[in-house]
């Protein structure tokens, strides 16, 4: 087993475990082998499979690697939790695959990608789908995190996920119902317990994104036409700060296009990278 962060620790077919700086094992899965590397990082309650629909549509253009964040899927976990450890996880994964690497990340995973990029990570490009940077100030839904955790303590993970989606991300009842009809719903509800710790960590980020001006790689910002004002404003602020950023709006979508419209996400990435 490797003792060097960034080197594969174990390998089993197309799935391997990469050792992060604090010893946490981060699972990554290679799902295609055409073109440059594309490492795909999911959001809060998603395992690596959240990007699978997009990766399938990009299989002829990229060597796609799907990543399980710490505490999710096949990755291990280490306490205490901190966003900085997730930045290190992303850096270790990127260092473990063929170079150059484009990093694609959704929601809080996009915050982890930004943190890794600010840490000096060498990248060929960044694709960021609605990073929830708190440029508006505290997320009002934080006041109900205790309620989310109470649902989890009672064993009501579906209720916890629905409440969190509504109060933290701004999902409508219709959007929640649509997501419930997908196979990803039950996977996400099983990981609902990992969301509150990430939200609390995000709330400690600075309110300005000025530091992101130091990111000097081509960057694609994706936002949904129907996403909440907070997510749209955060995406716009980041796009205005990173010097080489491009913004693409996904028509008819909100924060869940990875699950509901993966073809739109794939098309945007392919067009941008061409």
Per-residue pLDDT for 8 more than 50?
A: no
CA-based diameter of the chain, in Å?
49
Per-residue pLDDT for 7 more than 60?
A: no
Confidence class of residue 10 from pLDDT cuts 50, 70 and 90?
very low
CATH of the domain at 229: 3.40.50.1820
Confidence class of residue 139 from pLDDT cuts 50, 70 and 90?
confident
Per-residue pLDDT for 12 more than 90?
A: no
Encode pLDDT of 45-74 as tens digits: 999 999 999 999 999 999 999 999 999 999
Q: Which residue has the higher pLDDT, 184 or 124?
A: 124
Encode pLDDT of 217-260 as tens digits: 999 999 999 998 999 999 999 999 999 999 999 999 999 899 88
> If you search the block for the tokens 């943190």, which residue do you land on?
115
Confidence class of residue 9 from pLDDT cuts 50, 70 and 90?
very low
Let me know if residue 267 belongs to a domain.
yes
pLDDT the model gives residue 33: 93
Residues whose CB falls within 8 Å of the CB of residue 117, separated by 6 or more in sequence, listed in order:
103, 123, 126, 215, 217
What average pLDDT does this structure show over 201-212? 96
Alpha carbon of 44 to those of 79, 144, 194, 213: distances in Å? Answer: 17, 17, 7, 25
Let me know if residue 151 belongs to a domain.
no
Percentage, residues of the chain above pLDDT 70: 95
Let me know if residue 199 belongs to a domain.
no
Let me know if residue 233 belongs to a domain.
yes
Percentage, residues of the chain above pLDDT 90: 84
Domain that holds residue 124: 8-134+207-273
pTM of the predicted protein model: 0.92
Let me know if residue 262 belongs to a domain.
yes
Let me know if residue 83 belongs to a domain.
yes
Mean pLDDT of the chain: 92
**How many domains is the chain partitioned into structurally?**
1
What average pLDDT does this structure show over 18-36? 97
Alpha carbon of 30 to those of 51, 52, 251: distances in Å? Answer: 12, 10, 29
Let me know if residue 34 belongs to a domain.
yes
Alpha carbon of 244 to those of 63, 129, 268: distances in Å? Answer: 24, 16, 16
Encode pLDDT of 169-181 as tens digits: 888 899 899 889 9
Let me know if residue 85 belongs to a domain.
yes
């Amino acid at each position: 087993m490797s003792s060097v962060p960034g080197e594969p620790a174990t390998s089993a077919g197309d799935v391997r475990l990469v050792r992060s700086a604090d010893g946490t094992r981060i699972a990554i899965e290679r799902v295609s082998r055409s073109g440059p590397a594309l490492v795909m990082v999911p959001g809060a309650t998603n395992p690596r499979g959240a990007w699978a629909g997009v990766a399938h549509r990009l299989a002829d253009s990229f060597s796609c690697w799907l990543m399980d964040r710490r505490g999710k899927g096949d990755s291990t976990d280490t306490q205490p939790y901190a966003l900085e450890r997730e930045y290190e996880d992303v850096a270790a994964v990127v260092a473990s695959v063929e170079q150059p690497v484009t990093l694609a990340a959704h929601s809080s995973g996009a915050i982890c990608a930004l943190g890794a990029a600010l840490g000096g990570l060498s990248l060929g490009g960044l694709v960021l789908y609605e990073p929830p940077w708190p440029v508006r100030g505290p997320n009002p839904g934080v006041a109900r995190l205790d309620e989310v955790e109470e649902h989890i303590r009672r064993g009501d993970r579906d209720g916890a996920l629905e409440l969190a989606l509504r109060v933290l991300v701004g999902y409508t009842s219709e959007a929640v119902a649509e997501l419930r009809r997908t196979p990803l719903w039950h996977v996400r509800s099983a990981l609902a317990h990992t969301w509150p710790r990430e939200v609390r960590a995000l709330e400690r980020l600075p309110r300005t994104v000025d530091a992101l001006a130091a990111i000097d790689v081509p960057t694609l910002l994706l936002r949904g036409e129907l996403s909440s004002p907070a997510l749209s404003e955060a995406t716009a602020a980041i796009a205005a700060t990173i010097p080489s950023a491009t913004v693409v709006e996904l028509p008819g979508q909100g924060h869940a296009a990875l699950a509901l419209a993966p073809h739109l996400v794939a098309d945007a990435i392919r067009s941008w990278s061409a």
